[in-house]
Structure 1
Amino acid sequence: MKILVVEDDPFVREMAVAGLEDAGFEVTEAASGGQALELLQAGITVDALLTDIRLPGANGWAVARAFRERFPDLPVLYVTGYAEQMQPVPGGIIISKAYRMAQVISALGTWAA
């Protein structure tokens, strides 16, 4: 399963990528919403999206909308430290920071099954 991790905090991104790779996922990373959209325009294909909500360039909602235009059934995990800004997301799961990789892997497992 190919996952795009979009996270502007280098430490959090590194931990997410390492945890997902250790669990056997193929991971591509983006440091901003803008970079994620550039990857989409370049033709990246992914099986799931793990995105922070507050990002430079484009927020996580915009990134997810753009990816869902191309991949309508794409599983999306939104992570945020700003629970008060959560929006209802059909087909998506919202996880509050600080999260454990077990939460992410468990959620991804429900889609992989």
Structure 2
Amino acid sequence: MAILLVEDDPFVREMAATQLEEAGFEVIEAVNGGEALKLLQTGITVDALLTDIRMPEANGWEVARACRERFPDLPVIYVTGYAEQMQPVSGGVILSKPYKMAQVIGLLKTELA
């Protein structure tokens, strides 16, 4: 199962990628929303999206909408350290930072079962 991980904080991204890989997921990393959109244009295939919301170039909402254009039923988990206006795509889950990777992995395993 391939997870697109979009996070502009290098420490958070590395921690999340490591724990997702240890849980058996393939991780495709993007350093910001713009890079995630470019990766989607290359034709990557993903089974779920784990994205920060506030990022340079494109925010998590924009990344999720672009992913859902290609993968309409894609599970989406948003993470944020800010109280944001809610605009998630349907089927998305929002977690506040700091979050526990065990919670993320549990959600992914449930969504991808």
Q: Is the 8 A contact 2:6 2:36 kept in 1?
A: yes
Cα shift readout 1:58-94 (whole Å, capped 9, x = no counterpart): 0000000001001000000000011343335411111
Matched, 1:110 2:110: yes
Q: Which residue of 2 aligns with 1:50?
A: 50
- Decide whether aligned partners of structure 1 residues 71 and 41 sit closer, same or farther in structure 2, where only a CA change above 3 A counts: same
- Taking the TM superposition and a 5 Å limit, the aligned residue runs for 1:12-91 are 12-91=12-91
Where structure 1 has 5 or more consecutive residues not aligned to the other structure, the ranges are: none
Cα shift readout 1:18-61 (whole Å, capped 9, x = no counterpart): 01001000001000100000000011110000000001110000
The CA RMSD over aligned residues, in Å, is 1.0
Q: Which amino acid aligns with 1:52?
A: D
Tell me the matched-pair count.
Answer: 113
Where structure 2 has 5 or more consecutive residues not aligned to the other structure, the ranges are: none
d(CA) in 1 for partners of 2:38, 2:84: 29
d(CA) in 1 for partners of 2:103, 2:66: 25
Q: Which residue of 2 aligns with 1:101?
A: 101
Sequence identity percentage: 76
Moved over 4 A (4+): none
d(CA) in 2 for partners of 1:112, 1:27: 15
d(CA) in 2 for partners of 1:99, 1:3: 17
Q: Is the 8 A contact 2:65 2:89 kept in 1?
A: no
d(CA) in 2 for partners of 1:83, 1:16: 21
Instruction: Report the TM-score when normalising by structure 1.
Output: 0.96
Instruction: Report the TM-score when normalising by structure 2.
Output: 0.96
d(CA) in 2 for partners of 1:78, 1:91: 11
